Amino acid sequence: MADAVRHNLALFGPAGSGKGTQAGFLERELGVEHIATGEMLRQERSRGTELGQTLAAYLDAGKLVPDEVIVAMIRHRLADPQADAGFVLDGFPRTVAQARALQEMLASLERPLDAAVVLDVPTAQLIARLTLRARQENRSDDTPDVIAERLRIYHDETEAVLDYLGHSVPLVRVDGAQPVEEVSKAVLRAID
């Protein structure tokens, strides 16, 4: 392997900012594990388990799933050997409590977070993207009321996470309103 650099990244941005797209790009480009909490939660819900049914109530209302549930899921994924080469967290941490838990987890694994990348997109563009996604993917978590709630939660709670992480992790902001390829290039430049 020519490049033994490990990238441990967290990707931030409100719903519709392109986190999943950019995390997938980083997974392919850098060979890191894409850990998407939203996808993990939707898969658990689709299994129809008791946990899945509980999660459905949170997801359908646009509410955050309790910290202890998300932290346990992330701990499990980070312990997986597939994450040894690095990871990109997509949708985690969302609260300061989750950020603290992440820092503790990573310290115990001796794999600190290298950077927190924030995708900035104007609200009107986010709403347009999510409305389109709702039509294309028939997602129950992309209704107008749920979109508004998710954006409110992001600004109320997740922005505090950036303040918290910014004291110990490089925080880089990328214009997520650009064409996808330009955002990808900007993200790569930001983490190099």
Q: Catalytic residues, which ones?
A: 19, 94, 133, 139, 150
For the chain, list the strands marked E by DSSP. Answer: 7-12, 33-36, 86-90, 115-120, 171-175
Q: With contact defined as beta carbons under 8 Å apart, do 26 and 185 qualify?
A: no
- How far are the Cα atoms of 17, 148, 189 from residue 122, in angstroms, in the given order? 9, 14, 22
Closest of 122, 60, 111 to residue 89, by C-alpha: 111
Are 55 and 39 in contact, with CB atoms under 8 Å apart? no
